[in-house]
């Protein structure tokens, strides 16, 4: 196998059982995630994108299959392993920012920084996301785009090797959305992390190194993109 594989999903599936009904949110799927790539997962609503991302990020457990990270097995049901994986190696960004309302921007970022032995400087990261002068504001005092940038800073400060973004532009306007995407690419370039973006907006696929297309809980195709476009050049 190529030595730039960071994570490996082998025949992973997820079935939700709701009473009598079974929902196969993700059918048996295998996927390799490469170091330092920008991977965009595209697909219509309900196609299993978030399910896949949540499995990768270790906040959900698979029904079958195996997930390997750095050749370590994450899927043996050990909460300690998953917690430490999330703590040290993963940064999550959601559509609805999920900031702690009782903490200021700076404190939200510090909250994450306190978790790892060698975090980035909180102030530097706030500079990176362009919010240094608003560091004392509370989430309720910020716009959606600003809140999302705080969420990115919070994810990045831990120096994760993987940044997982579920619909990061979903509740942002066009301009703000593009700015956030730019930020994600900049971060990948600066800190050499892998960035996975889940979106139903196929235009975003143009900025990816690779695009995974999903439909009805299945990966239907994986496209390698020779020349990813810079985010400011893509349009929707």
Partner 1 sequence: MSTLTRKLFRTIVNTRGQFLALIVIVALGVMIYVSMNIVYSNLAQAQQQFYEENRFADYTFLVVKAPESVVSRIEAVPGVIKATGRLQKDVTIFKDNEERAVGRLTGYPLPVKDELNNIHLLSGRSFDDIASEEIGIIADPQYAEANAIKPGKKIEILADSRKVDITVIGTAISPEFVYPMKDSSSLFPEPELFGILMMPQKQVQQILGMPGQINQVLLDLAPDADEALIKSQVGAILKPYGNIADYPRKNQSSHVVLQAQLDGIKLISTSLPLIFFLIAAGIQFVILSRLIRSQRMSIGVMKALGYNNRQIIWNYTSYALLVSLLGALAGNALGLGMASAMTVLFAQYFNLPPAAMGINLQVVVISFLISSLVAGASGLLASRSVLQINPAEAMRPQPPAIGRRTPVEDWAWLWNRLSSSWKMSLRSMFRNRTRFSVTILGVMSAVVLLMFTFLMSDATNHFFDQSFEQVNHYDYIVRFSEPIKESELLYWNGWDEVQRTEKMMEIPVKAIFSNQTVDDVIVGLEPSSQLKKVSDKYGEIHRIPEEGILINSVTADKMGLAVGDVVTVETVMGMGAVRTAQLKVMDRFEPMTGAISYVSLETANRLLGERQLVTAAMLKLDAPVMPSLEKRLKEMSRVGSVVSFSQERAVYEKLMGTVWVSIGVMLMFAVILGIAIIYNTSVMTLNERQREMASLRVLGYSKGEVAGLIRKETWLQAVIGIVLGLPSGKAVATAYLASATTEMYSLPAVIYPRSYLMVAIVAFIFVWLGQNLSIRKAGKLDMVEVLKNRE
- Which residues lie near Mg ion (CB under 5 A)? 50
Residues in the chain: 236
In angstroms, the CA 59 to CA 213 distance is: 22
Window of 30-38, 48-56, 81-89, 183-191 that interacts with ligand ADP by CB under 6 A: 48-56
When asked if residue 47 is in the footprint of ligand ADP (CB under 6 A), the reply is yes
In angstroms, the CA 45 to CA 43 distance is: 7
Task: Out of 23, 68, 111, 116, name the contact with ligand ADP by CB under 6 A.
Answer: 23
Helix, coil or strand: residue 219: strand
16 contacts which partner out of Mg ion, partner 1, ligand ADP, none, CB within 5 to 8 A by kind?
ligand ADP
Closer residue to ligand ADP (CB): 1 or 18: 18
Closer residue to ligand ADP (CB): 49 or 161: 49
**How many of the chain's residues bind partner 1 (CB under 8 A)?**
37
In angstroms, the CA 123 to CA 116 distance is: 16
232 with 76: CB under 8 angstroms? Answer: no
Closer residue to partner 1 (CB): 68 or 110: 110
Closer residue to ligand ADP (CB): 99 or 212: 212
Comparing CA positions, the residue from 98, 149, 143, 147 lying closest to residue 128 is 149
- What's CA 121's distance to the chain center, in Å? 21
232 contacts which partner out of ligand ADP, Mg ion, partner 1, none, CB within 5 to 8 A by kind?
none
Give how far Cα 208 sits from Cα of 6, 108, 232, Å. 17, 29, 13
Q: Tokens in use for 235? A: 């349009």
**How many of the chain's residues bind ligand ADP (CB under 6 A)?**
12
β-sheet with 162-166: strand ranges across: 90-93, 162-166, 194-199, 38-42, 210-215, 218-224
Closer residue to ligand ADP (CB): 16 or 96: 16
In angstroms, the CA 230 to CA 210 distance is: 14
Shortest gap between Cβ of 103 and partner 1 (angstroms)? 6
Closer residue to ligand ADP (CB): 55 or 151: 55
Window of 64-72, 81-89, 201-209, 228-236 that interacts with partner 1 by CB under 8 A: 81-89
Give how far Cα 194 sits from Cα of 23, 54, 94, Å. 30, 15, 16
The residues binding partner 1 (CB under 8 A) are 50, 54, 57, 59-60, 79-80, 83-84, 86-88, 90, 92, 94, 96, 98-104, 107-108, 110-112, 114-116, 138-140, 147, 154, 158
The residues binding ligand ADP (CB under 6 A) are 16, 18, 23, 25, 43, 45-51
């Amino acid at each position: 196998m190529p030595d730039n594989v960071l994570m490996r999903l082998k025949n992973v599936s997820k079935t939700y059982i709701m009473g009598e009904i079974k929902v196969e949110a993700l059918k048996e799927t295998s996927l390799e995630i490469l170091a330092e790539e920008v991977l965009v997962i595209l697909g219509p609503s309900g196609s299993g994108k978030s399910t896949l991302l949540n499995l990768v990020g270790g906040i959900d457990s698979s029904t079958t299959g195996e997930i390997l990270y750095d050749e370590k097995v994450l899927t043996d049901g050990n909460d300690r392993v998953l917690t430490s994986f999330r703590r040290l190696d993963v940064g999550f960004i959601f559509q609805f920012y999920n900031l702690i309302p009782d903490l200021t921007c700076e404190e939200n970022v510090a909250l994450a920084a306190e978790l790892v032995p060698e975090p980035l400087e909180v102030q530097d990261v706030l500079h990176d996301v362009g919010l240094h002068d608003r560091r004392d504001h509370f989430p309720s005092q910020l716009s959606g785009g600003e809140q999302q940038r705080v969420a990115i800073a919070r994810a990045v400060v831990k120096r994760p090797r993987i940044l997982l973004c579920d619909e990061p532009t979903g509740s942002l306007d066009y301009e703000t959305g593009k700015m956030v995407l730019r930020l994600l690419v900049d971060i990948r370039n600066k800190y050499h992390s892998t960035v996975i973006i889940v979106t139903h907006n196929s235009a975003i696929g143009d900025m990816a190194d690779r695009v995974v297309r999903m439909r009805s809980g299945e990966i239907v195709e994986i496209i390698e993109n020779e020349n990813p476009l810079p985010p400011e050049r893509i349009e929707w």
